[in-house]
Structure 1
Amino acid sequence: MIVIKYLWYYSFWLIVRIGLRLYYSKVKVTGLENIPKNTPIIFGSNHENAFIDALLITTSNTRFDHYLVRAGVFNNPIAKAFFNSLNLMPVYRAQDGVNPLEANKQIFRACFEALAKKYAVMLFPEGEHNMRRHKRILKKGISRIALGAVNFEGGAQEVSVVPVGVNYSDHMGFRSTVHIVFGEPIVVKKQEENAENYNKLTAQFTEALSQVHVSLDRNAYDGLDTIFFHDQKSHELINPDIINAAAGKLSDRTEEVNEIAEQKKKLEEKGLSFPFRPISSSELAVMVLLSPLALIGLMVNLPVLLPVYLFIKTRVKEAEFVASLKFGFSLLGFCIWWWHLGNWAYDYSSQWPVAAISVGLCFICLVSLNGFVRKWKRYQLTRLLSSDEKVKAMYRDFVDRVDEIRKNLF
């Protein structure tokens, strides 16, 4: 039975890994050497992007992971069976209408048993998902599981708690980049389970986690986010070490940072949206060259693109779910649709290379469509700047101030 479970888990792992490497233009993984071998591990990560966070972390290492996810996703019996087959376990919160300490006792025991077998457990100790890149107060669940595991009868002698940072260049964008950072493990050995030790471990892990993802000061967040990401390029990797160090240098310039946030807000009221960079002449030429491939990409892939777009547009209320649903539906939809297109190409040509090339061209045209749409949006905003001298002057002053602040940060 365990062999079948392993085969199913790693088959799904491989499919999702390939899909993610196509969905993102680059997935960089740093710190794999910090993952201990042949020892129980708890992965604790920041949580900015719903389900896709867990998929990225899981497919970036080869450990047999068990996951704690919010209990609400287990309401559907079909979804529950699917999630259980992939080692997902529900974790209950106060808003679920139950006493979380009592409801989670059985789940915590399952975590202790998994760790006793030297498996890995993954959870998101922030207790929420939010695309704002700032430091959060962590819940004590990760400390309760770590200390409970080393005190569990027949359990692990020690547990390594590994902080994981997931850093997106664009939380919702197709063919953007993501940088996953595994930090140095915190080794937890047997000690008394009491409030003092829970608080001590939680504080230690909070600090460790803040070092592996972009952790801006929440009291000056809007201004700091503007300074570092108002012109963020979707293909550029984010390095949390560099950003956090630079943000630290602005800790005594809060008033100036907040003024930048106000400038950005006024520009948004005039019609601009961020992140934004005016499109250059060379980029405009690329957009024109991409247009034929983009049109083909739209026509060929419309049977998948349209339903996904309409579902997200009409049914999804939280932006944090956009990338997860876009990836999940697209992975399934394109696999089915491109399989049919490949078969049609083979029926017409009787050659598998032709079928494979046809499917490859479908993907190339899809990427071209995405590149065209991104540049088209920038083109429209650049035209807005050109048509209004007042807005243009406001934007120029905004960029000059940000550049002046950035000058001595990096």
Structure 2
Amino acid sequence: MMEHIRWKNLERESIRYALLKIGVKWWHNLFYYRKVTALNTHKIPQNRPLIFAPNHENAAMDGLAVLCTTRGQPVFLARSDIFKKKLPALLLTFLKIMPIYRIRDGISSLQKNDRVFQKTVEILKRKRPLVILPEGNHAEFKRLRPLKKGITRIAFQAEEASGYHLGIHIVPVGIDYRDIYKFKTDVLVNYGDPIDISDYFDLYRENAQKGMLALREHLASAIRELMVQISTEKYYHGYMGILDLYFHRMKKRMGLSGNTHANKFQSDRKLVEILNLFLEKDPETVAKLSRKAEKFVALRKKLRLRNWLFEKDRVSFPGIFLHGLLLVIGFPVFLTGLLTNYIPWHIPGKVAEQFEDKVFISTVKFVVSFLLFPLYYLLLFILLWIVSSNLLIALGGIAICAFTGWIGFRYYISWKKWLGKYRYRRYMKKKNKTFTEAKNLRNELISRMDELVASAIPLPASS
């Protein structure tokens, strides 16, 4: 495996990689996600060796979130089993990803980490950033799991090999997704205060294990402060239900305006803090809230209604009629967009469905769409040019396909919203039992949460 890796390419700046990064960043920040919010990028030190350490919730998308919100060409560490074949290994090293070997790869494989370690020292000496996902593997929960030893071992041993003169800083990173599975959702990348590992040199020299443990604990604490940390496993889904249904009232309590991801992030963190406080003081109250929140989410899904519909309380018939009329008028544009863009819109999702680990869904969708859309439009352009023998007609046809495809996607979202409004009004008019139960349960939850939150956060003076 090692012979497949082009080690010399990793620490060097590459024009081809720089061009690829421009495309990936554009696709990631402007097309795949609705909005990418990067907080506190000013805290990232310049012109010094860095190791970025993000939480790991969403497979390769976590690394991409760091790549697309920072400068330069960082080098990533990934598990070694994806480097076994020659072609993937060459591709991964071109993408500045190198393997890290674990005990599960075999005791003999651990010796190969010596070469990896030498390369990390070279990379850091050149002041190229490393990105290491310190949890070691991904999990779809908003919870930081115990950090592996690798990141602190690499940092200390690199300093030790350089006479403790490198000046390595570890930058903790918190990544938060509105939904890790969906296209056109939001992602927030929150950079924290860099950790100067020289603060731990004395302890490391005295006892290496104690030094690495102390740094690892500091790093874990720093990452938790930059993300939504739901530590409880028992009430995790209940917490998530409460964060969703109480957001609009919580942002009012906190004096926040707008439904931005940054506001949702602040609201979620504060709500988790309050729920954790009551989990210690009055665990039975939190247990009841959690059970009710889980039940409400189950009822809402059964009714196929989104939470924002309950926020409206009432949905007027004129509003539904006007919305439906606009959909009828726009249907020809939607149909054109659907027919001309069905392949690139449809295939990424179908490919993602083949993966057993659903955390890879977003990664697969991103990669397949990034490759498929340009290829599809290139072939379509060539076909139009051949048929029309006119460059302007071919370019115009591509522009129309792209425009109607985008309008078609927006139309689809609007259609789903209209359908939700229609269901909501129908359930309300017919006094559907499940709907009534869901509304009553939601009102109970909000009333009880109002009491808990009021004890922690007074309403703003203007309210």
Give the TM bin, normalised by the shorter chain. 0.7 to 0.9
Amino acid corresponding to residue 137 of structure 1 in structure 2: P
CA distance in 1, matches of 2:391, 2:384: 8
Does residue 363 of structure 2 align to residue 333 of structure 1? no
Residue equivalent to 2:124:
115
Residue equivalent to 1:398:
441
Superposition pairs of residues 18-37 of structure 1, within 5 angstroms:
18-20=26-28, 21-37=30-46
SS at match of 2:261: coil
Q: 1:108, CA displacement in angstroms?
A: 2.8
Contact 2:52–2:129 (CA under 8 A) maintained in structure 1: yes
Contact 2:54–2:174 (CA under 8 A) maintained in structure 1: yes
Relative distance call for 1:26 and 1:255 in structure 2 (3 A) is: same
Relative distance call for 1:55 and 1:262 in structure 2 (3 A) is: closer
Larger-Rg structure: 2
Residue equivalent to 1:11:
19
Q: 1:261, CA displacement in angstroms?
A: 3.6
Pairing partner for 1:228 from 237, 243, 258: 243
Amino acid corresponding to residue 6 of structure 1 in structure 2: S
Q: Deviations over 1:183-236 (max 9, x none)?
A: 111111144261111111111111111122221233332111111135989x84
CA distance in 1, matches of 2:442, 2:60: 35
Name structure 2 gaps, 5 residues minimum: 1-7, 249-258, 280-285, 458-463
CA distance in 1, matches of 2:242, 2:78: 33
Residue equivalent to 1:165:
174
CA distance in 1, matches of 2:407, 2:400: 10
Q: If the length of structure 1 is used for normalisation, what is the TM-score?
A: 0.87
Name structure 1 gaps, 5 residues minimum: none
Q: Deviations over 1:59-97 (max 9, x none)?
A: 211122010112222233211101111210112334434
Contact 2:306–2:420 (CA under 8 A) maintained in structure 1: no
Relative distance call for 1:196 and 1:226 in structure 2 (3 A) is: same
Does residue 215 of structure 2 align to residue 201 of structure 1? yes
Pairing partner for 2:268 from 212, 221, 243: 243
Contact 2:333–2:408 (CA under 8 A) maintained in structure 1: yes
Report the RMSD for the aligned CA atoms in angstroms: 3.2
CA distance in 2, matches of 1:45, 1:132: 14
Relative distance call for 1:312 and 1:64 in structure 2 (3 A) is: closer
Higher mean displacement: 75-84 or 215-224? 215-224
Superposition pairs of residues 148-159 of structure 1, within 5 angstroms:
148-153=157-162, 156-159=165-168
Q: If the length of structure 2 is used for normalisation, what is the TM-score?
A: 0.78
CA distance in 2, matches of 1:122, 1:374: 35
Amino acid corresponding to residue 149 of structure 2 in structure 1: K
SS at match of 1:158: coil
SS at match of 1:218: coil
Identical columns (%):
23
Relative distance call for 1:287 and 1:147 in structure 2 (3 A) is: farther
Q: 1:238, CA displacement in angstroms?
A: 4.4
Q: Deviations over 1:119-162 (max 9, x none)?
A: 10001111221221123222222211221221123675321111
CA distance in 2, matches of 1:330, 1:237: 24
SS at match of 2:169: strand
CA distance in 1, matches of 2:75, 2:419: 46
Q: Deviations over 1:2-60 (max 9, x none)?
A: 79851022111111011112111211211111111110000001112111221221121
Choose between structure 1 and 2: higher helix proportion. Answer: 2
Residue equivalent to 2:283:
none
Contact 2:333–2:404 (CA under 8 A) maintained in structure 1: yes
CA distance in 2, matches of 1:319, 1:8: 32
CA distance in 2, matches of 1:41, 1:4: 16
**How many equivalent residue pairs?**
407
CA distance in 1, matches of 2:142, 2:181: 14
Q: 1:344, CA displacement in angstroms?
A: 4.6
Relative distance call for 1:289 and 1:214 in structure 2 (3 A) is: farther
SS at match of 1:104: helix
Amino acid corresponding to residue 166 of structure 1 in structure 2: I
CA distance in 2, matches of 1:383, 1:248: 37
Contact 1:126–1:138 (CA under 8 A) maintained in structure 2: yes
SS at match of 1:165: strand
Higher mean displacement: 375-384 or 386-395? 375-384
CA distance in 1, matches of 2:239, 2:267: 13
